Structure formats: structure tokens, C-alpha cells
């Protein structure tokens, strides 16, 4: 489109923004107006997208990191003929896909960015996937990843983590456009209209920059032309703009963030926009061609649609009498599975020699991303990788996921699949002390919509669960520990997600017992005393390292003539509710044991499974005291989650 048409189109887009936000009574129109000229010229002159197929791998991508400018985002598609005026007027209504901050319910949304500071990381992840992980796709021309930034969100550290990553990885297909309108929500931003401050920062991070007047179409065109043809690293257009540009009542004035015009001001604003051609429609350029080449396991599309693969190679050989940390077993598993899953990529935050991802890094260096100590960006990049059809496995100390929780909680809104390994979990970490001991991770990941949370007790269970994870959609979390644990299971044992392992009482000389010590997720009839209240026993439900303590307690109690049942609850979410309810009917008490804070973890998950059923008392053994440095066994004893504490609790119930 030529310059005259683009200018006419901006009037139509501003009109759309004004009427839809006025009808909704909210919607940040001033933040939209400042970026209209920038986005109109980008969208209708340089952006390439197949509007009939938003998932076309050849498409450019456009991410609104300033997600509150959603009315502008939707108005671009209205100007392209994708959304009707009537649909725009449903903005922010319950049944409308045009939500207040764009989500995947609107099919052209690349990622949910309503929480500021995340869009640049996601864009960097997509740019990295397109440039370095092309899979089955060979591009006629490399798709560009565009991201609109707001100056307010540039106070977020995650922006600069992403800027560092993009420059370090020479992502010349990443183009950022910074809308510097100088106002945040409550007041002027940190640097106001001092554009040089932003330019110096991005230059320092290794970006190519250009500073322009964001309302001058000649300058915008020159900047975009330079951006899409440059051959260096990532590129940013830093545009000085006016918040509310085009409506004098709010142009370049504070106090209008998400504030609506009165009916009189609204009428005056419509008039001020000037003559509008309502029949006008913008044209978006079609993307270049692509060619597919055989590469099983990667579909090359920008949605997550991985092929389920039966694992052919064998489980790592573990000896029954050895002890292996579950973190090591995780490393063994991902290195092994990388052969079958060619879309599997591993991201690690400078922990590969501790999290055991160094095995994968050595075997598949082109599919290993060293993200350094920047966890927020690491998760954001994983979102972008997943949007490009890759299967990211993000690994670090579980404690450090807490600082990236905003990115983690936003990921489901983008419809992505990300696998997480949080290691060095619990007080069993020992001497490193409480700052390194994640004790809220089960609660954190369990609270996410449609998430999966797993906590294996031994190396075999860990490897089997990693095999399950790679065929699971959504946010999937695996909890692993540093402390070596004995091998409990064999390669013939299965660990379906949502299952559990039941350990009946051990066979002790002189005592009668069931020779089958382990049963998958079921008990037989009256093996453990049936429903006779006089014979009911205690059931211990444990997870992770506390399964080892529970089994030790079971053995010691059996030697004294007391029988208890132990359930290895390796799947926290979904939990094996059927087995737990059956155990409750056959038990006089249930004791849950977890190396985790008492809120939101195993104990609460068990209680939720029993909530609508009659059940015996449930006692939660968990980390109630502030931990400290020490040996693993000292910490487990101090928190009263070791075998001795379990035995003490059981004896107190008799």
C-alpha cells in the first residue's frame, strides 16, 4: 500500500479502536493510539501472513508484548477484513474471542502477553526456532518475528534477559518495535521521552538500533526497510510517540490509561479523526513458499502436534542394590529419548553439570540451549520454541522456577506444551541450605490449569515417567532430587500418569504375609484387613524421597508385628484417586509424607481426592519448620519426615 492509503487506513483503525473500547467501557485506547501508525505500516506493507492459515510455517509472526494494546491488534485484522465491525463491538464480552488481553481463543494470537515483560522472550524463542531448528521446513525466505514493546514494560528485568539472549544468539530475524509514548499507567515512565537512554541500552546489549518519530510515515518506512534487510544481530526500532495520538482530549496527557471519554468527548473524538473510508480494506502480503523434507518427530507447524512414539531403546541398566539420584536418571532419560524425539530441545540455566543435562548437551549440542542464569527468559523462550512446534524440556534447580512463575502461569494461556525438570528439591538437599531447597514447587505447578505434576522415588520410575512426559500435552513438571535413592522397581514396572504403586507389608520370617509386595494401583479384597474396623491398618502415602523413608518405616514396624501399607504416589496431579479412596475404606488412618511445605502438596492433593467421600483421619507429615544446612538424614529427621518420625506418628495412633 502507498503512503496515502496507509494514512487513510490509520484513521479507520483509530476509529475501530475508539468505538470498541467505548462500547466495552475499557480497553486502553490511548496505549493503542500511540502505536497505530507504526503497526499499520508494518502490517500492511512489510508483514507477511497467510490470513487463511495462521499456522502456516512460512508466516511472519507478530507478538504484542504490550498486551493491553489488544484493541489495536484486533483492529489490524478488522482492517484486513478478518473481523467485522459488529464483532469488534463484542470486545471484552464473555462470549467474545476478542478478550481484554489477547489469548489463543483468537486464532491469530501468537502468545498471551497480558502480563508485561514477556513478549520479547517469546519472540526470541520463535526467532531462534525458525533460524536454528528448521526441522522439516526449508524456507524460501526466513520468516521475521516482530514484537511490539511498550516503554513501561522495559523496567522489567525479563526484557533485558531476552535482549541479552537474542544478541548472543545473533537472531537477525528478530525485529522489535519500541513504542516510547512516555506514560505508564500512573505516571511518566522512568526515562520519559529521553529516547537516547533506550538506544544506549540496546546498543550495549549488541542490538542494531534506529531512532525515529513514530508518527512520521517516511521515517517508519525507512526503519522497517532497514530492519527487514539487515544482516547483523537483532534489530530494534525505537519510536518516539504520543500516547493518545489523534485525539486532543487525551493526546500526550497523563491520567488517561484505560480511561474512557465521556459521550460528548467521544463524539468530538470521532469528528476529530477526520473523514473515514469505511469501505477501505488493507492487504497483507502473502508469505514465501516452503518445502518439507522428511524428519519424523517434527511436524514443522507452529502449533504443538507431536507424534506419539513408542520408545525402542532400552532403559538405563540399574542394579537392584545400587543407589542413584533421580536427577541423574532424568539426565539419562532425556539423552536417550533425544534419539526418538527429534523435536526435543533442552534448555538449562547454567546447571547442566548439576541437573545432568550435560549428557544431552554432549549428544545433541545443536538441540541444547544454554540459557545462563536468566530463568524468566528461559521459560519465555520455551514458550516461543513450543509455538514453533518444538518440544522444550526446561531444567534447573526447582527453587529457581519460583522467580519465573509469572512466565510459567502465562504459558497455558498460549496453548503450549513445556516439560519442566525441577531438581535439588526438598530438605534432602542438605548442606546447601534453605535458599536452594524448593519446598513449594508441587503447590506451584499443581495450581496451574490442566498441569501434570510428577515426583518419582527411584531412577527406574524417573526414566519411565520422562517417557510418559514426552507424550503429554500442557505444562508437565517432574520433581527430582540430588540425594541417591535405592532402586525399588524393575524395567517391567509401568508408571502411567495418574497411577501409583502400592507396597503391601513385607514378608518377615515368622509373620504371615502376601509374597507379592508391589501391586499396581489396586489392593485385593481383604488382604489388609478388609473393612473390619478392628483390623483396619494405617496407610502411608508418600512421594519422592519420602517413599524410601516410608518403606523403611514399614519394614521396621513389620519386624515388630505391625503391618502398614505404603502407597508410592509418584503422580501428584492427576492423582490416583481411586486407589486412595480404596485405601481410605480399608484404613483406620492415612499418613501423608512429603519433603515439601504442608500447603498445596501431596497431603492436600490426597485430601482433595477424599473430599467427597467418608474417610479416616488424614495426618500430614511435611516441612513445618524453617530448614537449615546439614546432612540429608539430619534434615529429614529435623522436619519429622523420616522413618523414625513416621513410626512415631503411627504408634501415637494406637
Q: What is the pTM of this model?
A: 0.92
Active site residue 578: no
Q: Is the pLDDT of residue 188 over 90?
A: no
In this predicted structure, what is the pLDDT of residue 583?
A: 95
Q: How far apart are CA 233 and CA 211, in angstroms?
A: 17
515 domain-assigned: yes
What is the C-alpha separation between 55 and 492, in angstroms, rounded? 40
Same domain, 335 and 380: yes
- How far is residue 535 from each of residues 53, 326, 503, measured CA to CA in Å? 64, 37, 18
> Is 598 a domain residue?
yes
Residue in 126, 153, 219, 375 annotated catalytic = 375
Query: Quick one: which H or E segment has residue 330?
Result: helix 326-337
- pLDDT tier for residue 431 given thresholds of 50, 70 and 90: confident
Kindly report which listed range (389-398, 509-518, 560-569) carries the lowest average pLDDT score. 509-518
What the block records as the C-alpha cell of 635 is 534434615
- Measure the CA–CA gap between 248 and 263, rounded to whole angstroms: 15
Query: Can you tell me the mean pLDDT for 148-153?
Result: 94
Higher pLDDT, 508 or 239: 239
220 and 184, same structural domain?
yes
Arithmetic mean of pLDDT, 146-160: 95
Domain of 52, in residue numbers? 3-272
Whether residue 586 contacts residue 531, with contact meaning beta carbons closer than 8 Å, is answered with yes
Statement to judge: residues 403 and 481 lie in one domain? yes
pLDDT band for position 312 (cuts 50, 70, 90): low
- Do residues 482 and 517 share a domain? no
Residues 475, 611: one domain? no
pLDDT-based confidence at residue 289 (cuts at 50, 70, 90): confident
Paired sense of beta strands 61-64 and 145-150, if any: parallel
pLDDT of 237 > 50? The answer is yes
Q: Which of 352, 344, 256 is nearest to 297 (CA)?
A: 344
DSSP string, 330-393: HHHHHHHHTTT-TTEEEEESS-HHHHTTHHHHHH-GGGEEE--S-HHHHHHHHHHHHHTT-EEE
CA–CA separation, 77 vs 527, rounded Å? Answer: 65
Q: What is the pLDDT of residues 292-309, one digit of tens each?
A: 665 544 443 333 344 555
Grid coordinates in use for 654?
Answer: 494406637
Using CA atoms, how far apart are residues 288 and 114, in angstroms rounded to an integer?
30
Measure the CA–CA gap between 235 and 177, rounded to whole angstroms.
9
- Give pLDDT tens digits for 113-141: 989 999 999 999 999 999 888 666 777 78
The answer to whether residues 40 and 76 touch, using CB atoms and an 8 Å cutoff, is yes
Q: What is the CATH number of the domain that holds 633?
A: 3.40.50.920
Residues 262 and 356 occupy one common structural domain: no
Same domain, 266 and 134: yes
Does 288 reside within a domain? no
User: What total number of domains does the chain contain?
Assistant: 3
Query: What's the pLDDT score for residue 111?
Result: 94
> Which H or E run includes 230?
none
Per-residue pLDDT of 166-179, as tens digits, reads 999 999 999 999 99
Q: Considering the domain boundaries, does residue 297 fall inside one?
A: no
CB atoms within 10 A of CB 82: 18
Taking a C-beta distance cutoff of 8 angstroms, is the pair 452, 497 a contact? Answer: yes
Clarify whether residues 25 and 142 are in a common domain. Answer: yes
Mean pLDDT over residues 328-342, rounded?
A: 94
Within 10 angstroms of residue 533's Cβ, the number of other Cβ atoms is: 9
How many other CB atoms sit within 10 Å of the CB of residue 303? 15
Please give the pLDDT value at position 300: 36
Q: Is 234:207 a contact under the CB 8 Å cutoff? A: yes
Q: Tell me whether strands 452-454 and 571-573 are parallel, antiparallel or unpaired.
A: antiparallel
Last residue within a domain, chosen from 455, 486, 517:
486
Are 626 and 561 in the same domain?
Answer: yes
Question: Which domain CATH number covers 263?
Answer: 3.40.50.970
pLDDT digits (tens, 9 = 90+) for 59-108: 999 999 999 999 999 999 999 999 999 999 999 999 999 999 999 999 99
pLDDT of residue 135: 62
Is the domain of 433 the same as that of 534? Answer: no
Domain boundary among 212, 237, 272: 272
Interatomic CA distance for residues 507 and 528, integer angstroms: 13
The answer to the question of residue 435 being in a domain is: yes
CA 209 to chain centre: 30
306 lies in a domain?
A: no
Do 268 and 331 fall into the same domain?
Answer: no
The three-class DSSP label of residue 417 is coil
Final residue in a domain of this structure, among 456, 486, 516: 486
What average pLDDT does the segment 398-412 reach? 95
User: What is the distance between the alpha carbons of residues 609 and 239, in angstroms, rounded to a whole number?
Assistant: 54
pLDDT above 50: residue 525 = no
**Dihedral, CA atoms, 6, 12, 16, 17, nearest 10 degrees?**
50
213 SS3 class: strand
Q: At a CB cut-off of 8 Å and minimum separation 6, what does 262 contact?
A: none
Q: 245-284 burial by CB neighbour count: b if 16+ within 10 A, else e? A: bbbebbbbeeebbeebbeeebbeebbeeeeebeeeeebeb
472 shares a domain with 506: no
Question: What is the distance of C-alpha 350 from the center of its chain?
Answer: 19
What is the model's pLDDT at position 522? 39
Average the pLDDT over each of 209-223, 446-460, 497-511 and give the range with the smallest value. 497-511
Question: What pLDDT is stored for residue 310 in this prediction?
Answer: 54
Is 348 part of any domain? yes
DSSP 360: H
Q: What is the pLDDT confidence band of residue 607, given thresholds at 50, 70 and 90?
A: very high
Q: Identify the CA nearest to 285 among candidates 141, 385, 175, 388.
A: 141
Q: Does residue 192 form part of some domain?
A: yes
Q: For the chain, what is the largest distance between any 2 Cα atoms, rounded to a whole number of angstroms?
A: 97
Amino acid at each position: 500500500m502507498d503512503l496515502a492509503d496507509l494514512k487513510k487506513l490509520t484513521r479507520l483503525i483509530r476509529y475501530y479502536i475508539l468505538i470498541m473500547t467505548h462500547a466495552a467501557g475499557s480497553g486502553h485506547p490511548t496505549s493503542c493510539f500511540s502505536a497505530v501508525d507504526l503497526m499499520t505500516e508494518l502490517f500492511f506493507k512489510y508483514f507477511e501472513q497467510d490470513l487463511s492459515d495462521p499456522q502456516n510455517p512460512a508466516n511472519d509472526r507478530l507478538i504484542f508484548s504490550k498486551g493491553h494494546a489488544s484493541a489495536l491488534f484486533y483492529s489490524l485484522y478488522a482492517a484486513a477484513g478478518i473481523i467485522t465491525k459488529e464483532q469488534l463491538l463484542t470486545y471484552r464480552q464473555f462470549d467474545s474471542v476478542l478478550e481484554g488481553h489477547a489469548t489463543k481463543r483468537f486464532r491469530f494470537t501468537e502468545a498471551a502477553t497480558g502480563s508485561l515483560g514477556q513478549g520479547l522472550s517469546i519472540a526470541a524463542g520463535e526467532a531462534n526456532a525458525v533460524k536454528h531448528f528448521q526441522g522439516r521446513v526449508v524456507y524460501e525466505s526466513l520468516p521475521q518475528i516482530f514484537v511490539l514493546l511498550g516503554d513501561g514494560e522495559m523496567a522489567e528485568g525479563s526484557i533485558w534477559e531476552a535482549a541479552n539472549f537474542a544478541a548472543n544468539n545473533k537472531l537477525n530475524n528478530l525485529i522489535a518495535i519500541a513504542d516510547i509514548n512516555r506514560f505508564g499507567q500512573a505516571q511518566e515512565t522512568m526515562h520519559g521521552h529521553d529516547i537516547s537512554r533506550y538506544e544506549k541500552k540496546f546498543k550495549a546489549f549488541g542490538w542494531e538500533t534506529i531512532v525515529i518519530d513514530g508518527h512520521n510515515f517516511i521515517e517508519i518506512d525507512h526503519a522497517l526497510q532497514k530492519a527487514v534487510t539487515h544482516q547483523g544481530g537483532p534489530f530494534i526500532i525505537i519510536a518516539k510517540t504520543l500516547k493518545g495520538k489523534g485525539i486532543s482530549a487525551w493526546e500526550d496527557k497523563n491520567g488517561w490509561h484505560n480511561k474512557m471519554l465521556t459521550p460528548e468527548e467521544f463524539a468530538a473524538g470521532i469528528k476529530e479523526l477526520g473523514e473515514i473510508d469505511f469501505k477501505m480494506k488493507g492487504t497483507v502480503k502473502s508469505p514465501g513458499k516452503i518445502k518439507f523434507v522428511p524428519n519424523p518427530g517434527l511436524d514443522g507447524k507452529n502449533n504443538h502436534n507431536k507424534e506419539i512414539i513408542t520408545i525402542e531403546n532400552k532403559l538405563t541398566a540399574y542394579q537392584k542394590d545400587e543407589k542413584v539420584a533421580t536427577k541423574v536418571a532424568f539426565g539419562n532419560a532425556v539423552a536417550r529419548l533425544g534419539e526418538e524425539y527429534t523435536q526435543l530441545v533442552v534448555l538449562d540455566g547454567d546447571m547442566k553439570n548439576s541437573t545432568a543435562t550435560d549428557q544431552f548437551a554432549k549428544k545433541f549440542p545443536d538441540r541444547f540451549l544454554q540459557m545462563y542464569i536468566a530463568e524468566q527468559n528461559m521459560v519465555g523462550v520455551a514458550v516461543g520454541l513450543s509455538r514453533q512446534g518444538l518440544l522444550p524440556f526446561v531444567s534447573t534447580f526447582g527453587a529457581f522456577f519460583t522467580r519465573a512463575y509469572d512466565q510459567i502461569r502465562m504459558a497455558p494461556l498460549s496453548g503450549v506444551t513445556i516439560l519442566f525438570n525441577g531438581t535439588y528439591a526438598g530438605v534432602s538437599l542438605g548442606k546447601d541450605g534453605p535458599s536452594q531447597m524448593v519446598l513449594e514447587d508441587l503447590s506451584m505447578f499443581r495450581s496451574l490449569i490442566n498441569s501434570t505434576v510428577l515426583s518419582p522415588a527411584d531412577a527406574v520410575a524417573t526414566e519411565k515417567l520422562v517417557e510418559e512426559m514426552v507424550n503429554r500435552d500442557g505444562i508437565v513438571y517432574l520433581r527430582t532430587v540430588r540425594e541417591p535413592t535405592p532402586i525399588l522397581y524393575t524395567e517391567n514396572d509401568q508408571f502411567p500418569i495418574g497411577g501409583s504403586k502400592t507396597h503391601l507389608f513385607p514378608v518377615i520370617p515368622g509373620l504371615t504375609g502376601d509374597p507379592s509386595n508391589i501391586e499396581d494401583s489396586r489392593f485385593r479384597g481383604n488382604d489388609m484387613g478388609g473393612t473390619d474396623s478392628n483390623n483396619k491398618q494405617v496407610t502411608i502415602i508418600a512421594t519422592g524421597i519420602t517413599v524410601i523413608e516410608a518403606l523403611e518405616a514399614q519394614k521396621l514396624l513389620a519386624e515388630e508385628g505391625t503391618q502398614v501399607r505404603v502407597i508410592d504416589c509418584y503422580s501428584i496431579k492427576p492423582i490416583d484417586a481411586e486407589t486412595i479412596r480404596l485405601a481410605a475404606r480399608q484404613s483406620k488412618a492415612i499418613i501423608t509424607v512429603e519433603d515439601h511445605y504442608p500447603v498445596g502438596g501431596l497431603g492436600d492433593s490426597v485430601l482433595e481426592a477424599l473430599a467427597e467421600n467418608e474417610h479416616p483421619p488424614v495426618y500430614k507429615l511435611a516441612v513445618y519448620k524453617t530448614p537449615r544446612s546439614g546432612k540429608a538424614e539430619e534434615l529429614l529427621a529435623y522436619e519429622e519426615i523420616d522413618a523414625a518420625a513416621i513410626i512415631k506418628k503411627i504408634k501415637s495412633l494406637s
